[in-house]
Structure 1
């Protein structure tokens, strides 16, 4: 996959490739406890793409999805790693997804809520991570329940507990980990959405740049790179998205 100089320039107006990284989704990005350095599937892909462009990589790290999306939308970063959503797509050109993640609901053991259909009631309050993919999705889908936005995805369950809310929504693996640390919580039996994690670049970078990024993601899936990254980082429950 040879990338022409004009396309390299489209991605590197600041002289290097700036990759927006969201630490709010621990399936794809984390921070080393000792060094503070970010690591994960997103970082591996960012490094591989910078190597493909033969340019320096700068990781622009954020704690929430909303901040990470804004950095690319405002062109303070050249690429990013997000869940595909129509609202985000107003300014960002997405690739096809490289990873699929499930969104689930969490409730207390003694909650009368047993199914997803029972969540959307006027007397229910649902905790979500502000600006996350499932915040955007549930804002559109829930007609009666009230949405309560936690500062970030990792703080959803704590917000749910602190405010004595009825439901918490989030990435399945994050909710499962929180439930293991806090007795008396359970996940509902079915997902409410599939979160399609993709790469993206500002639409202003042009069609050729977007097509190049799309081709890169397809190559990374087909070559086994994404699957190997998930395995290397010990990620369970996320799957490589099918080829497009």
Structure 2
């Protein structure tokens, strides 16, 4: 895959590749305990794309998906890593997914809820991370339950506990970690949605730049780069997305 100078320029108007990194989703990125630096699958992909462009990489780090999306939409970053969503797609050109992530519901042990389909009831309050893919999806899908937005996805269970809410929604891996930290909680079986996690760039960068990013993601999947990164970072609860259908 060769990237021509005009496309390199489209991705790097500030002379470096600014990558928006969301630490609010542990499947995508975390903080290295020893160095404090961001690490994870999204960081690895950002570094590989900067190398492909032949430019320096600058990480723009956020604690929530919504903030990360805004940075790319407002052109404070050149690329980012997000769940594909039509609302976000108005300003951001997405690649096909590179990983699939399960979204789950968490309840208290004594909750009468046993199935995902039972959550959308009048009087039930469901908390999600503000601006997350789960927030966008449930805002469209829930017709009866009330949505309560936590400041970030990692703060969902804390908000759920502090406000005595009925259901917490989010990344399955994050919720499983919260269950280990707090007694008396359980996940509902299965999943209520699958997140299609992709790379994205501002639509203003043009169709050629968006296509180059799409080609990069497909190469990273087919070469084994994404699967190797998931394994290297010990990520469970996510799988490599299938290759895009040829046009």
TM-score, normalized by the shorter chain, greater than 0.5: yes
CA-to-aligned-CA distance 1:130-188 (integer Å, 9 cap, x gap): 00000000000000100000010001011100100000000000001101111111100
CA RMSD, 1 decimal: 0.6
Query: Matches of residues 110-125 of structure 1 in structure 2 within 5 Å?
Result: 110-125=110-125
SS of 1:24's equivalent in the other structure is coil
Aligned pairs, number: 244
Name the CA distance, whole Å, in 2 between partners of 1:67 and 1:181.
26
Q: Tell me the distance in 2 between the aligned counterparts of 1:130 and 1:13.
A: 30
Q: Give the equivalent residue in structure 2 for 1:90.
A: 90
How does the TM-score come out when normalised to structure 1?
0.99
1:224 maps to 224
CA distance in 2, matches of 1:123, 1:235: 36
CA distance in 2, matches of 1:217, 1:121: 39
1:118 positional shift: 1.0
Query: Normalising by the residue count of structure 2, what TM-score does the alignment of the two structures yield?
Result: 0.98
2:50 corresponding residue in structure 1 = 50
Q: Which segments of structure 1 move beyond 6 Å, counting only runs of 4 or more?
A: none
Equivalence for 1:234: 234
113-122 vs 80-89, which deviates more?
A: 113-122
Alignment-derived partner of residue 100 in structure 2: 100
Q: Distance in 1 between matches of 2:47 and 2:35?
A: 18
Distance 2:131 2:103 in 1: 14
Aligned to 1:182: 182
Deviations 1:192-228 (A, max 9, x none): 1000100000000000000000000000000000000
SS of aligned partner of 1:243:
coil
- In the alignment, structure 2 segments of 5+ residues that lack a partner are none
CA drift at 1:34:
3.2
Equivalent position of 2:80 in the other structure:
80
Distance 2:116 2:229 in 1: 32
Whole-Å separation in 2 of the counterparts to 1:130 and 1:32: 25
The answer to whether residue 67 in structure 2 is matched with residue 67 in structure 1 is yes
Give 1:122 shift: 1.3
Find the aligned partners of 2:62 and 2:180 in 1 and give their Cα distance: 26
Structure 1, unmatched stretches of 5+, are none
Q: In structure 2, how many angstroms separate the alpha carbons of the residues matched to 1:71 and 1:219?
A: 26
Q: Is structure 2 residue 38 aligned with structure 1 residue 38?
A: yes
Partner Cα separation in structure 2 for residue 27 and residue 39 of structure 1:
10
Give, in angstroms, the shift of residue 33 of structure 1. Answer: 2.5
Distance 1:34 1:96 in 2: 33
